[in-house]
Amino acid sequence: MTRLGRLTAGLTTATVLCMTASGCMTVHGELAVLPGATESEAAQALTDFLTAYNAADKAFDPALDADRVTGSLGAINQAGLKARQTYNPDGNKAHKPLVLDDATYVIPKKAGWPRWFLADTDSNRDQDGGKLDTRWLVVFVRTAPDAVWKAAYLGVVPVSQVPEFALDGDGLATPVEPRDGGLAVPPADLSSTYTTYLKDGAPDVFAPGASTSGWRETRRTTRRAGFSYQYIDQPMTATTFAPLGLRTEDGGALVFFSSKHFERQTAAKGLKPEVNADVEALLTGEVNSSLTKERVSSQLAHVPARGADGGGKVRILNRLPGLVAAKGE
């Protein structure tokens, strides 16, 4: 099959990132390196997620899919449903079921728990009427033998931006260790490096784009008479939000990682920040002179090998942010 054909059919990938310095986490004495799931188990996990997600979206009830989401995707999903339920207590009148079909899976081989796989899917939610062929890459995580698979990350990218992945002789993906020194930025450092960059413009390791230089410029030029803006960016690296990475054929890696972002808007005397329905639903405190919005964001990045041709810059392929809280003062 040609490279284009493989991309169009849906590139298969997986996210395998061990969480200790050795690159492996051993639980219950399981040391054998085995495929993390069968293909039928992966397919069932996707089906179970869609069933729960669509039920929750139809009712605007976060409880209906709380046990099928985790990580940054879970934080965004649960906060969004909570907000919409507040001002739509009768549910989602415009509900349209999410369909993720044409799914392919790569089942990574690893020891111990947690384990991951990635579903490479086609969605019925293209925003441009289908003019741009995109793939929805959904990462599923399972933390123990008796745990259910939960969706932890989502990345939406054009087919042309999905790289080829390094596979072994059995067709399994190649894991990336969190402290891999062969990459331009080790996966474990991506979140802190990204949030530092957003504040200072350094280190200069990110390629220009909407989620890097473009976002910094938008913040710098945001102006509104009588209002000032402050931004704080924080890394998210706890186990639930750990980065997940997969080796690509070019020697780099495709990595999902999380971050948190605060935006504070302060008004001059006699003015007050505007509060929309989503903010109102998640608000604590009373908005008098200032409003702080808290967002969780997940990023999908291509991280080149250290010293790679072309400058070796990290490219943010997709960013998915979501409001999770707000505070008035």
Predicted local confidence at residue 182, as pLDDT:
94
Domain limits for position 147: 3-328
Predicted local confidence at residue 15, as pLDDT:
35
Question: How many domains does the structure of the chain reveal?
Answer: 1
Q: Which of 114, 197, 103 is nearest to 148 (CA)?
A: 114
Predicted local confidence at residue 37, as pLDDT:
83
CA 324 – CA 22 distance, rounded (Å)? 34
- 13 forms beta bridges with 118
Burial class (CB in 10 A: 0-12, 13-18, 19+), 316: buried
Predicted local confidence at residue 27, as pLDDT:
43
Q: Are 61 and 81 in contact (CB under 8 A)?
A: yes
- 150 forms beta bridges with 141
CA 90 – CA 112 distance, rounded (Å)? 44
Q: Which of 303, 315, 6 is nearest to 157 (CA)?
A: 315
Predicted local confidence at residue 6, as pLDDT:
39
Predicted local confidence at residue 130, as pLDDT:
59
Predicted local confidence at residue 129, as pLDDT:
58
Q: C-alpha distances in angstroms, 329 versus 83, 119, 227, 263, 272?
A: 20, 43, 14, 13, 10
Q: Are 329 and 290 in contact (CB under 8 A)?
A: yes
Q: For each of the chain's 329 residues, which pLDDT tens digit applies? A: 443 343 333 333 333 333 333 334 444 446 788 887 889 999 999 999 999 999 999 999 999 999 999 999 999 999 999 999 999 999 999 999 999 999 988 788 888 888 989 899 999 987 655 567 899 999 999 999 999 999 999 999 999 998 888 888 988 888 888 999 999 999 999 999 999 999 999 999 999 999 999 999 999 999 999 999 999 999 999 999 999 999 999 999 999 999 999 999 999 999 999 999 999 999 999 999 999 999 999 999 999 999 887 668 999 999 999 999 999 99
Q: Are 53 and 98 in contact (CB under 8 A)?
A: yes
Distant-in-sequence, close-in-space partners of 114: CB < 8 Å, separation ≥ 6: 19, 25, 141, 142, 143, 144
